[in-house]
Structures are given as structure tokens and as C-alpha cells.
Chains A and B, each alone.
Chain A
Amino acid sequence: MSAGAAVVVIGGGVTGLSAAWWLARAGVDVLVLEKGLVGWEASGRNGGGASHYHSPLFHEEQRLWPLMDDLLGYPTEYRRERVIFALNEQHLADYRNMAAEGRKLGYRVSDLDPKQVRELVPLASEKTIGGVHLHYGGHANPQRTVQAYAWALQDLGGRIQQHTRVEGIVVESGRVVAVETAAGRIGADALVVAAGPQTGMLLAKVGVRLPLGYGRAEMIVTEPAPLMPIGGADGNGLYGRQTLRGNLAFGGGPHEWIEMGEAGPPGRPTSPVTRSLARRVAELMPGAARLRVIRSWAGTFENTPDGRPVLDRLDEPANLVVATMSSVGFGLSPASGHAVADLVLEGRCSFADIDKLKLERFANTPEDWLERRGWLPPAAA
């Protein structure tokens, strides 16, 4: 049996690791339990974007990212700013609407004409009709960031136990007292469940219902191109970035609703969607059309019925905090971890109102909601 901890965090993805890191920064004895390797699921398989104007965590996200390399002590490859550019009027209107939301929140946004787009993004199509330049947001390297959280957590005395799947949660007198693993029982004074798709299955063990659907999405990456002034550049139905190495990494397009197991997804295959992604990158950046695609990858994620996070400390068990970011978690992780640590320590988020992210909003979600929404795996061919 492993030694217990004041706070046990289930899930070594960005949200759980960030929460544990924030707790360790507050001097709390924290242990992260991860079913596999840290960051092995969606946390290490996303577009790396950090421009989430819609979230109550947005201001904290924007405040923290520029500080993260120093705070963590390891590189995240964070770069500020994003350019989103359009090949048609509908997209341009969408991007301007989106940028207006950032402006409304007090952030600097510039409208770009085609020439300005191509100055910032030299690979951009000559058919570009304009774009927006967000002087905030940006992008980081998900895989490097996940490991940075993990190492920074350890540097503060926090512990991570990989390859340790939680099989049960022990509740006594309305409080979590321990979790059960194949390696034995691990005591806890408080529990954070930040286990991505497995979050709902774990909560079900203590009679708490968190409705989730499960999906698979994919991305592609090319060989390196010369670095552009702004690497966080996308459009044409894509999300993604030019990495600091120069590779173009983009995702978007259809997801597949899948079944999910307690030990993980039944697989993470990519599909011929690779070809549709390649097409859109080639359309968006014709100057890159001869660049070779060298990899694709898929990741799996969970979604709540409204697509929004659940960040909540429950009434029962009273020392249990739930954290799912509902498929939009990487960029917000500096702030989501802060919020979760606050919920554990204070019972409320210290820097933002997150009351609309409580679990109770799904109390009346019908049992057959996945069928109603069509969030079911395709019928077999």
C-alpha cells in the first residue's frame, strides 16, 4: 500500500497536474494517480491553443501563460498572439465576431487586410481576404507542457504514481477517505477527480452522476517550414499552429463518438480525415502545399451535454472536487488548476465566478440524452 496524501488527484492530464501543482505551491501534500503515462491522452494530443475568450477562466489563462515557463522551471514553448485569416466572407465575419468578444473583455485585437495577413503569415494564401490579429492567446507545446507540470509538481515535493488506475473510492460518513487501486488502498483527506473521460465512471462509484459523451478527434503534422512571424495562425475550418520547430500541426473536422472504458479508449486510430485536413492546410497555406505530411494522430475526449466544463466541489461527498474541461482543457490548464486548487482549499474559486460550471445543472438531464443528441458511435459498416 502506498502512503496516502492530504489530497489525491485522479488523472495525470493537464488539468489534474496543474491542480496538483497549484496545491503543492500552497504547501499541500499531494499525490497524482495516473492510469498510464502523464499527458498520454488528450492533454498531449491537442492543438496547443490558448485563446479561450468564452471561459470564465480566460483572464487567468491570459495572465498566467506568459509566466508559465518561469513558474514551472521548464519550457512550455508558449508564444503569445494568434492570427486567424479567412478565404471567404462568412469565415471573416465569424472571426471578426469572435475577435469582438476578446475586445469586449479588454484585449487588443487588430483587423488585418490581406497584405497584413501575409506579412505575419507568409505562407497564407493569396486568396486571403483578411483576418484578425489577437494580441493575446497564443499556443504552447502540449507534450512539453504536460511534462513541465509533472516535473514542477515533483520539484515542490508532490508525488506522481503512473500506471496506477483507481478502481474504487472509499466514502465514510459523507467524506472520501481513500481510493482503491490494484496496488492497494491509498488514504486521502480530499479527492480531485480530473480523469478526463473516466471522470464520470469514477464519480458513479460514489453515486454521483456526471453525464458525459466520448469522442475521438485527429490532427496532422508536416515537416518543418521556415518560421513565420506569427506561428499561431489558422483558419479555413482548422485549429492549430506552426510549432517552434517549424512543423505545421492542424486539426479540425469531424469527430467520432466512441465507447469508452475505465482503462481508456478502445483505440486511438486516425482515419482518412487526414486527407481532408491536408486539403484544408494546402488551401489555407498554398505555399506549404509541397510540405510533406509526416504524421497524424488521434486523441479521445469527453463532453458534457452543454460542452462546458464542470468545476465543482460537491456537497456529498463534501471533500470531492470534480474537474472536467469538456474537450477544451489544454490552454485553460494554468487557470483550471488554480480554480481546482481553490475549490479544494477554500471551497470557492478565488479569481473568477465559476458558479455556472457546477454539476447540478445536469440534474435533470434525461437518461437517454446521448441518443437524443446523436452522440453515439456510428452504426457499424
Chain B
Amino acid sequence: MPDPSAIDGKLAPPDEHAGVLVIGAGPAGTAAAIAAAEAGEQVVLVDENPVDPGLMGHDTPLWYGARMTAAVQRPERLVEQLAAANPALEAAMMLGVDVRLGVTAWGLYAPGPALRGLPAAMVGLADAERAWMCGFDRLVLATGARDVAIAFRGWDQPGVMGANGLHVLVQRYDAFDGRRIAVLGSGALGLRTALDAKARGLEVVAIVEVLGAPQGPPDLLAEVAAANIPVLAGHAPLRAEGGASGVERLVLRAPDGLETSLGCDTVCLAVGLAPAIELLQSAGGAIVSDGGRGGHAPALDGAATSLVNVSAVGDCAGPALDHDAWAYQAAWLAALQGAADPSLIICQCEAVTRGDIIEVRAPRYLGPPTERSRARSLGTLIADGPVNQDQIKRLTRACMGVCQARRCREQVALILAEAAGVAPQDVPLAGFRAPVRPLPLAVIADWNETEAMRDGWEIWMAIPGQWAPYADIGTEREFALLGGGSARR
């Protein structure tokens, strides 16, 4: 006798099916889509750009630092711009690839030992109005990389942004609302960011490096020199200062200890990109911890992930770097936050400070900490077991906000590693959960669910008698209740 309130038979098969579903229409995803189409496969290529401008205001999916022009308010016009910025898309369409812009992949579901009720592997997709599920024979993740943010004084104002956010606004959207940029980070990422910006006619006032020497490869450094972009090594940013419209200058401490100031409207942090593993990790795909691949990256065999028929290409695959991402980011964290006071906000969504994280403080809406709470800290917590970012998240709310920790995930891990005296790779990855993009209830909702879901819906398990009042157990009334009554906590 089946349990009518269990999941069996309630989840619908996917609304549509793709032979090959490619997520992300950057260079790697577009190339993968073209290759699959040329091999005669039926290919769907989705890309979330143009992104809902409301989400961009939450630095989602990239760190745009509120430096978007009004052009992002007209997504329909941006579609042409995006197509123009990626000529390969037209080639893909000519080959019959079903290209869909403005379509977000928000969830990946794969059958597994604790998810046998799922009829098939499927991806949750959504546009501005609705969500649906897409099955696949083969899934190619080409979701790119996210900006790694590290807080410093003044970072929470318009004009402080990430290298990928800048790249997308400048190169793909042509919707960047800044002119004078200070780039933080002199690795290959920082150097390319500066060169690309300059090539687009933007002014790069300097590339700032906290380490004693520029970090990038000699050929890029030569290009930077040829472009007359100064590289300020051994300089530590102290704070971004500005006014109502955001950043106006970046104040640095020079190697001689003196403060110096760079006039700029944008501070672009280019100290690292994290492979965008949200979909893979939330579906239970294996992840490895490898600073040489940008941090947490998919466990790969060639391009194959640990999930059946799911591969990863491009930046989300965590390509090999010429340096250890964690070591470099930890050096930046130490330089940017070493002298900072504990009131520096780390999690902007939830207003959690660096001090709150290290002292494991409950959020301020609960009032001042109790006497006993004040005696608790990361130090007392790790006396009970290894540092755990998810545990800190639960207690402090750092990483619990609407940006889904895009602005603070990596730096909270770095702060915890520093404070606990462990290597960053030894801080367990805080888990990702669907939806990996914040989507409105009305959009993600299933307005067309199965009859079985509708008819078999119970608040809790509907075990006969579970909610019978204790006094009635073993009485006539219990048996009457078992015949009818509704499950209720």
C-alpha cells in the first residue's frame, strides 16, 4: 500500500527536453553549443543576460557595484547589444542552436539515493515571468566565474565593483557608468582588466598591488607599461571615499607609510574569480578545494563532472592558474582588513561586521549580546570542533542575505581561516542551495503542478494518529479521529 502523502509520482517530468543543454553563452558555452550542433545534436543554449536590473542592484550574479547605466532598465534592447558582443551566437543560431537570452538556470536536480522521487535529471529555468523544468541527455555547465570580493573601508558604496562585473558591463552590455578606474590586483586578471578598460577608452588611474612587486606575467606587464598605466606595488588601499554618487577617490598607504590618494569614480577589485559551481554543488556534484584552480572547483575527469552526463567547461571548470588563489586573496585580505576596525561591514545584506564574525555575534535585531553571549567567540567555538562556515552563517547571518553571499562568501571563509589559524582550503565550503538565483515566489512557483501533488499535499506526513491528542490515545475518540481529521502540527 503506497503512502499517499509521499513524493512518489508527484514530481512532474520536465516540461521540455534538450539533447544538449548548455548553460552560459560566454565563449566556452557558445563553443560547446556550436560543437554539439555540428555533431548533429539538438542543442539549447541559455544565458541569464540581460539580467533583471533589480537583481543587478543586489550584485547578482556579478559584482556590478551599482555602476550600471540606465540601459540595463531596457532588457529588450540589451538583447541586441549582447548578440552584437558575441558574434559566435549568430553562428550558433545558424547551426540550429536554440539560443535563449534572459533565461536563468536556477536549479539542477539529479536523481540520487535521497532523491529517487525525481523522474529524471532536470534543470530549473526561468525568464522574467515564469519558471519551468528542462530535461537533458547531456548538460554542459559554462557558468563562468564570480567576482571574489574583499571588504575595505568604503567598499559598500556605488563604484566599488568586481573585475567580472566590470567586464560584463563594459564588454557585453556597453552599460558602464564610470570613467576613471583604479584596479586592485596586479595578477593577470588585474592587468587584463586594466588593459581592456583602457582599450574601451576608459581611464585607468592605477593598478594597485599590496604585495611588493607586480604579480602578472611579463608580457602583460609590458603591455601595461606600454599603455602608460602605473602599477603601484606595495600599496595598501585604506579606504574609498566619495559622495552621494559613490566613489570619488581611493586612499592608499604607500610603502613609505604615507597616505596618498587616487582620484577615481570606480574601484575595481581584481584579486580573484571563483568558479561558478552553484548548480553543480547544490545538486551534489563533487567539488575539490584547490587554490591553483581558483578555490572550490568541480572534481573533473576531462570535462566530466561527478554527475552523470554533466560536464563543465570554461571558467566554471576552474582552469589552472599561475598562482595560488587563496594565498593571494589572503594577502589582500590581510592588507585590506588587517588594520581595519571590527565594525567593517563584511556581509552587506545582513549588516554583519568583521567583529561580529570573529566574535560569533547574534544579529543586532536581537538586541545587545547577553553576558554569556559575550563570552562566546570563534575561539570558543573552534575549541569544540573545526571551523565551519555554515555554522558561522547560522549564528551570525553572514552570507544569509538576498545576494546569496555573492559579496561575502569567499572573504568570510578567508576571515575564518585567518582567525582560526587554518589554511583557507581547510574551511569547508558553505553549501549552495537552489534556487541559485534569487527568484520571486510568483515566478518560481509551479502553477501547473501535477494532480498527484495537489491532491496528495499534506502539511506533514499524515500518519494516522500522529496528531491525536494524547488523552485520546487508546480511546474511542482516537479511532474516530483516525477516520478523518487533518494533519496539523
Contact = CB atoms under 8 A, between A and B. Distances in A.
Contacts of A373: 1, 3
Interface stretch (A109-117, A202-210, A286-294, A336-344): A286-294
B222 interface: no
Nearest to B54: A292
Interface in B106-137: 107, 109, 111-120, 122, 124, 131, 133
B261 interface: no
B402 A294 contact: yes
A378 B453 contact: no
B7 interface: yes
Contact of B445 (A223, A254, A279): A279
Contacts of A52: 489
A245 interface: yes
B449 A279 contact: yes
B212 interface: no
A75 B12 CA distance: 42
A237 B461 CA distance: 11
A291 B440 contact: yes
A244 B366 contact: yes
A256 B116 contact: yes
Chain B interface residue number, banded: 35 or more
B446 interface: yes
A307 interface: yes
Of A237, A268, A275, A327, chain B has the most CB atoms within 10 Å of the CB of A275
Given A143-B395, A276-B457, A306-B466, A374 B6 contact: yes
Given A279-B445, A291-B441, A252 B457 contact: yes
Nearest to B376: A151
A162 B383 CA distance: 10
B489 to A, nearest CB: 5
A22 B283 CA distance: 39
A272 interface: yes
A256 B444 contact: no
B433 A223 contact: no
Interface stretch (A173-181, A259-267, A314-322): A259-267
Contacts of A88: none
Contacts of B402: 223-224, 292, 294
A17 to B, nearest CB: 12
Interface in A269-284: 269-276, 278-282
Contact of A267 (B114, B486, B489): B114
Given A160-B384, A269-B114, A300-B114, A254 B6 contact: yes
Interface in B72-109: 107, 109
Q: Is the interface of B mostly helix, strand, loop or mixed?
A: loop
A54 B54 CA distance: 45
A101 B8 CA distance: 32
Contact of B109 (A47, A215, A271, A308): A271
Contact of B442 (A95, A255, A289): A289
Interface of A: 37, 44, 47, 49, 51-56, 58, 73-75, 77, 94-95, 97-98, 101, 104, 143-144, 147, 150-152, 155, 160, 162-163, 215-217, 222-224, 237-239, 244-245, 252-259, 265-276, 278-282, 288-298, 300, 303, 306-308, 326-328, 331, 356, 372-375, 377-381
29 contacts: A44-B394, A54-B468, A73-B373, A75-B366, A162-B385, A163-B385, A237-B457, A237-B459, A253-B457, A253-B458, A254-B456, A255-B5, A266-B112, A270-B434, A271-B115, A272-B11, A273-B7, A274-B434, A276-B457, A279-B441, A279-B446, A300-B114, A327-B460, A372-B1, A375-B6, A377-B116, A378-B117, A379-B116, A381-B119
The 9 closest A-B pairs by CB, nearest first: A307-B466, A307-B463, A275-B446, A266-B113, A292-B438, A279-B445, A73-B372, A289-B442, A143-B394
Interface of B: 1-3, 5-12, 107, 109, 111-120, 122, 124, 131, 133, 283-284, 350, 362-363, 365-367, 370-373, 376, 384-386, 388, 391, 394-395, 397, 401-402, 404, 433-435, 438-442, 444-447, 449, 453, 456-461, 463-470, 473-474, 485-486, 488-489
